[in-house]
Amino acid sequence: MHPISILKYAQRQVVNAVKYLPDTAWDTPGVCGFWSVKQIIGHLIGWEHYFEEFIAPFAGKPIPTPHIDDYKIMDEDAYNDKYGTAAASRTPANLMAEFQAVNARVMALAELISADTWRQVGTLPWSDWNDLEDFVVYGYYGHKYEHAAQIVVFRDKLNQQTKA
């Protein structure tokens, strides 16, 4: 497994899912639970920041950790609401610009992490038997892929409605 490739593919899945989505559709609720596409992207931005903060020390570039700090004091729903629900007031272009910018920083950090560090079991504070690669596959790629799939289903439904 190559974590850099997995990270690139995860980002591409989301970007492609929203590529041809009209701006007017970004506010429609119900894409994932009650969330709109805007809220899903805002939610993913929050987790992108979290991942950036999480991997920075492994890259030898520790940074402030406001998202990790938020997650430590909030339950998962409150964290998701802070970044997902609040995104409803933003524009699609603004959300995607931030999503891409944070991902570019994540990718730059990921490139600095050695192959041995990616595969070092016990690097995750919540697991003695997993490594950073596992986190990328299950916690990062899987998360983005799931939300990208939800957006694609929503987009396809919209396309079918306009054809009918």
User: How far apart, in whole angstroms, are the C-alpha atoms of residue 46 and residue 31?
Assistant: 18
145 lies in which domain range?
34-154
Does residue 127 fall inside a structural domain? yes
Domain count, the chain: 1
- Name the nearest CA neighbour of 23 among 97, 95, 91: 91
Does residue 126 fall inside a structural domain? yes
Q: What is the Cα 87 distance to its own chain's centre?
A: 14
- Name the nearest CA neighbour of 52 among 70, 41, 68, 76: 68
Does residue 68 fall inside a structural domain? yes
Per-residue pLDDT of the chain (164 residues; tens, 9 = 90+): 699 999 999 999 999 999 999 999 999 999 999 999 999 999 999 999 999 999 999 999 999 999 999 999 998 899 988 998 889 899 999 999 999 999 999 999 999 999 999 999 998 988 889 999 999 998 899 999 999 999 999 999 998 887 76
Does residue 18 fall inside a structural domain? no
Does residue 117 fall inside a structural domain? yes
Burial class (CB in 10 A: 0-12, 13-18, 19+), 42: buried
